């Protein structure tokens, strides 16, 4: 068993980031949802989840046909979901009409991280005053799942549960304006975070979750905010020191989003 401060560690044996070996799942098949939950929305959510937890890597090309096959649906809802993700800057459209997951520059990652710390800190603080025993129980359950995945060296599983942990908290805060902004930031940062944390010599810890749970139990809103900010800042500092960034990332423009929706 690993110590209480659960951490991923990998041996250093190269300088280039690579996806982990083995067949990587692009996206899970779409399951039927509630009557008001449209197919387009379910496709979008599946792709968004994949971006957040590392099912896609920076620079990876994605095709409508491949995604439709993986999701078990037609190309139309995939096209619409991809167009929305381009508008949210989670994907980019190249001049040759290929769609790829964007690379990450140091400056862009720093800005994304600062924005995340600010917005997520605000929402964690707001969630603290209304934290219920049911919420605390659910967060503790998810955090234990993160620890199990870390023990098993299952990075993608840990990242999936980490996403659930954060958004279970944020959705309880009743902040309908800020929450979509946080989701968009996670979409943009997710592929880079997952790939970088899987690099040789990299480590990752979810130790700040315990401080957050303690703050929620004590209804200590400033402490809850500090715990979330510390969680983000620790990972950001690690990656700024160890991750590999692109010197000249592909520019992302709003006109690309309009182009893919209207012409594909």
Q: What is the pLDDT of residue 227?
A: 98
Confidence label for 163 from pLDDT (cuts 50, 70 and 90)? very high
152 is written with which tokens?
A: 């098993």
Q: What is the pLDDT of residue 22?
A: 38
Mean pLDDT of 217-221: 96
Q: What is the pLDDT of residue 151?
A: 87
SS (H, E, C) 22-33: CCCCCCCCCCCC
The alpha helices in the chain, defined as continuous H runs, are 39-53, 64-71, 75-87, 106-129, 133-151, 155-171, 178-197, 208-217, 221-242, 254-263
Predicted confidence (pLDDT) per residue in 30-43, tens digit: 545 444 578 899 99
Q: Strands of 60-173 (E only): list them.
A: 61-62, 92-93, 99-100
Pair 259, 95: CB distance under 8 Å: no
Q: What is residue 95's three-state secondary structure?
A: coil
88 is written with which tokens?
A: 């949210």
Mean pLDDT of 238-255: 68
* H or E element that contains 173: none
pTM over 0.95: no
Distance (Å) of CA 7 to CA 10, 75, 79, 121, 155: 10, 40, 38, 23, 10
Q: What is the pLDDT of residue 7?
A: 46
Please name each of the domains of the chain with its CATH number. Answer: 25-103+249-263 (1.10.10.10), 106-242 (1.20.120.530)
Predicted confidence (pLDDT) per residue in 81-106, tens digit: 999 999 999 999 988 888 999 999 99
Confidence label for 27 from pLDDT (cuts 50, 70 and 90)? low
Looking at the DSSP bridge assignments, the partners of residue 100 are 61, 92
CA distance 44 to 79: 10
């Amino acid at each position: 068993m690993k110590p209480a401060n659960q951490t991923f560690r990998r041996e250093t044996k190269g300088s280039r980031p690579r996806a982990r070996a083995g067949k990587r799942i692009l996206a899970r098949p779409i399951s039927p949802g509630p009557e008001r939950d449209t197919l387009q929305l379910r496709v979008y959510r599946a792709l968004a989840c994949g971006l957040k937890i590392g099912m896609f890597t920076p620079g990876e090309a994605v095709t409508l046909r491949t995604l439709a096959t993986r999701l078990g649906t037609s190309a139309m809802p995939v096209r619409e979901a991809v167009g929305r993700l381009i508008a949210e800057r989670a994907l980019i459209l190249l001049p040759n009409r290929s769609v790829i997951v964007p690379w990450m520059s140091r400056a862009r990652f720093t800005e994304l991280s600062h924005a995340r710390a600010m917005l997520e800190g605000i929402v964690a603080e707001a969630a603290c005053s209304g934290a219920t025993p049911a919420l605390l129980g659910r967060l503790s359950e998810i955090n234990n799942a993160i620890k199990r995945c870390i023990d098993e060296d299952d990075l993608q599983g840990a990242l999936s549960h980490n996403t659930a942990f954060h958004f279970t908290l944020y959705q309880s805060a009743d902040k309908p304006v800020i929450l979509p902004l946080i989701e968009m930031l996670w979409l943009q940062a997710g592929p880079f975070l997952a790939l970088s944390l899987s690099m040789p010599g990299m480590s990752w810890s979810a130790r700040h979750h315990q401080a957050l749970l303690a703050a929620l139990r004590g209804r200590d809103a400033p402490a809850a905010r500090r715990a979330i900010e510390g969680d983000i800042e620790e990972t950001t500092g690690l990656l700024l020191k160890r991750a590999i960034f692109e010197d000249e990332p592909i520019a992302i423009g709003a006109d690309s989003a309009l182009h893919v929706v209207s012409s594909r």
